[in-house]
Structure 1
Amino acid sequence: MALATGTTAPDFTLKTKNDDGLADVTLSDNFGKKKTVLLFFPLAFTSVCMKEMCDVSSSITAYNDLNAAVYGISVDSPFAQEQMAKVDNLQFPLLSDFNKEVSTAYDVCYSDLLGFKGVSKRSAFVIDEKGVIVYSESSDDPHDLPNFDAIKAALA
């Protein structure tokens, strides 16, 4: 069961990759400055995951206007994620949880999805400026997209 609202968000540092190379992204860097949306997704380049990331990217201005940083997180390598971001022209960072530590800390790992163990469940968390989870959603069905209206309401 995913971490509940009211829980202090586990801090992490994950890798992202772009044309400038690998870079670290640390959740707590946002504390005291902005809210954070974490969107865990199962696998890069799958149709539902690409739709989710593209939908969020096309409305990134709405998240920016709500003073929120948005990150997509999967257990894919940062190199695969970089290619997905380029193909889809994503306007926010994808973070690699290759070692499955963050997905485990947020309790959003499948024990088995199509024979793959430790893949991130499609999940969404909104974390306030103090580092507290104010919205939590996770689905056992990888086809179910998060409730983006509820996410934006939690940011308001």
Structure 2
Amino acid sequence: MALAKGSKAPDFTLNTKTADGLKEVTLSDNFGKKKTVLLFFPFAFTSVCQNEMCSISAGMDEYEKLDAAVYGISVDSPFAQEGWAKANKISVTLLSDFNKEVATAYDVLYSDLLGLKGVAKRSAFVVDKDGTVTFSWSSEDPHDLPPFDEVKAALK
């Protein structure tokens, strides 16, 4: 079961790949400054994940108006994520949980998905400025998309 609403969000530092190289992103850097949306997804270069991240990218201004940072997190390498983002004009900051530590901490890791071990479940969390989870959603079905209206409502 995914990390529950009301829980303290486990802090993490993950890599994102930019044109300038690898850059570390730490969740707690947002504490006291802005809210954070964490969107775990199974794999780059898959249709449902692409639809999700492209849709979020197209609506990033809504999240910015709600004073929220948005991160997409998968177990893909940061290099694969960068290639996928470039190919699909994804502007969401993608974070590599290659070692599966963050998905484990948020309890959103499949033990087996299509014969593949340790893939992130499609999940969404909102973390407030104090580091508390104010919204938690996770699906056993990788085709289900998060209820984005509820995510946005949790940011208000």
Deviations 1:23-63 (A, max 9, x none): 00000000000000000000000000000000100000000
Report what 1:128 is aligned to. 128
Question: Aligned partner of 1:121: which letter?
Answer: K
- Post-superposition Cα deviations, 1:96-127, rounded to whole Å, max 9, x if no partner, equal 00000000000000000001111000000000
Do structure 1's residue 92 and structure 2's residue 55 form an aligned pair? no
CA distance in 2 between counterparts of 1:34 and 1:24 reads 18
Match of 1:60 in 2: 60
1:77 alignment partner in structure 2: 77
Q: What residue ranges of structure 2 are gaps of 5+ in the alignment? A: none
> TM-score, normalised on structure 1?
0.99
Equivalent-residue separation in structure 1 for 2:121 and 2:12 (angstroms): 18
% identical equivalent positions:
70
Q: Distance in 1 between matches of 2:61 and 2:85?
A: 17
In structure 2, the partner of 1:50 is: 50
Distance 1:32 1:142 in 2: 33
Q: Secondary structure at the match of 1:49?
A: helix
- 1:94-113 aligned at under 5 Å gives the runs 94-113=94-113
Q: Report the 3-state secondary structure (helix = DSSP H, G, I; strand = E; otherwise coil) of the residue aligned with 1:79.
A: helix
Distance in 2 separating the partners of 1:128 and 1:4: 14
CA deviation after TM superposition for structure 1 residue 92, in Å: 2.0
Q: The residue matched to 2:146 in structure 1 has which SS?
A: coil
Runs ≥4 residues deviating over 6 A: none
Task: Note the C-alpha offset of 1:89.
Answer: 1.1
2:24 aligned partner, one-letter code: D
Deviation at 1:91, TM superposition (A): 1.7
